[in-house]
Amino acid sequence: MSMWFWFFEARHSPNTAPFTLWINGGPGTSSMEGVFQENGPCHVNADGETTVLNPYSWNNLSNSTLIVSPPSSFPQCLTFTLVIYIDQPIGTGFSYGTIDVNSTFAAAPVVWTAFQVLFESKEFAKFQSREFIFATESYGGHWGPGFMTYFDEQNTKIRSGTLKGEQIHISALMINNGWFDPPIQNQAFVEFATFAPGYGQLQSDEVLAQLNQSFFGPGGCKEQENACSAAGDSPESNGICARADAYCTENVFGLAVGDRNPLDLRQSASSPDPFPPEFYVNFLHNATTVERIGAKTQFTEVSIPVELQFNSTGEDARSLLPMLSALANSKLRILVWAGDADINCNWLGVHNAVLAMDWYGKDTLHNTPFKNMTIGGKPVAAIQNVDNFSFAYVQLKLSDTKCPPFNLKSH
């Protein structure tokens, strides 16, 4: 098997900058999407052959370009950082080999092994002692808690002498619009379609009535999700959870999205000019590019075979909120943030999942008021913070500085 990564050194203080891992969601979505459409150093031009500097790249930001006022416990990784992007599981993006990973728990050991190879190598051994931040999004609500838990278990075995290997110490976890808890977040599709703060009602009254029936009615999404949770890891659970996921996706998520772009409600699903545009796909299919970067297989933006593996176990219907709660209890620095225009892992569902976490700060978080994060004096996000845990609601519709259910006040 061959696991693809792309590594970018920090443009500022590369000898001391933190080391950050970025993994896109899916499961089966290439992290090259993160490189070229999100936080990587370059964007691809319309010609699909040339690139332009991304001024907001995570390996390019410095204190002079980003002035914010976050809580003091926020992970300070975005000042400047080295970033490694990994295509996983095998079969995703440029990674190739046997496609047999069907869960987060099966994916974690492969990524751990990849870092054993990296940290044992001459080129990457020096980064093992750096601050290590794990950043991910969407299905990263599963990747983050699952991978972190596995890495911690391996570290314990290494320290006890029962396993020989390189310890991987991750100091902070960052998850953007994550998929943590399907029962909670599927219900949030109903709530978000009924009223998306800042945008209003997304679907007609008729569709909302059907949506409520599909979720709350007999044999509906809620009932099937509860059956999945009750099945645990029993032999029957794969089928129960797979059926629940298929039903909820078609009859709840599908109705909530309608004809909108599920990742940006401001765009239609058939928009001819999505933002950001996917020029990078042509760039990575270009024979010259492939030769220069050393890729050995055809690039796949989204791997259907990987998706099917995960569908077979119904993992999309399973909750990893208990693992996230345990990590918060360990006082790991955690930032969960969500943009207000995403339907797929909408911020109402993400926030409800965070509030449902069972950890020592649960009651305090419920009673903690939101405070503004500002850039250039303008509020761009509302933040709750308890010790090392932070939740941030990011406003893309900046004209709405008072979005229910919050009454945001600048601090």
Q: What is the pLDDT of residue 80?
A: 66
Q: What is the pLDDT of residue 405?
A: 40
pLDDT class of 395 with cuts at 50, 70, 90: confident
Q: Average of pLDDT values for 165-184?
A: 95
Q: What is the pLDDT of residue 75?
A: 38
pLDDT class of 13 with cuts at 50, 70, 90: confident
Q: What is the pLDDT of residue 375?
A: 81
Which segments of 43-202 does DSSP mark as H helices, in order? Answer: 104-120, 140-160, 182-194
Q: What is the pLDDT of residue 397?
A: 64
Find the CATH number of the domain harbouring 25: 3.40.50.1820
Q: What is the pLDDT of residue 224?
A: 98
- Residue 176 domain-assigned (yes or no): yes
Q: Average of pLDDT values for 245-252?
A: 97
Q: What is the pLDDT of residue 15?
A: 85
pLDDT tens-place string over residues 297-340: 999 999 999 999 999 999 999 999 999 999 999 999 999 999 99
The span from the CA of 369 to the CA of 383, in Å, is: 8
pLDDT tens-place string over residues 221-236: 999 999 999 999 999 9
pLDDT above 90: residue 171 = yes
pLDDT class of 273 with cuts at 50, 70, 90: low
Q: Average of pLDDT values for 55-68?
A: 57
- Residue 80 domain-assigned (yes or no): yes
Mean pLDDT (the chain, rounded): 89
- Residue 220 domain-assigned (yes or no): no
pLDDT class of 66 with cuts at 50, 70, 90: very low
- Residue 190 domain-assigned (yes or no): no
Q: What is the pLDDT of residue 81?
A: 81
Question: What is the signed CA dihedral for 19, 23, 24, 28, rounded to 10 degrees?
Answer: 160
- Residue 336 domain-assigned (yes or no): yes
- Residue 277 domain-assigned (yes or no): no
pLDDT tens-place string over residues 67-126: 333 344 433 334 468 899 999 999 999 999 999 999 999 999 999 999 999 999 999 999
- Residue 358 domain-assigned (yes or no): yes
Domain count for the chain: 1
pLDDT tens-place string over residues 194-204: 999 999 999 99
- Residue 409 domain-assigned (yes or no): no
pLDDT above 90: residue 11 = no
pLDDT class of 269 with cuts at 50, 70, 90: confident
* Beta strand segments in 281-358, E: 333-339
Question: Which domain, by its residues, includes 63?
Answer: 5-180+319-394
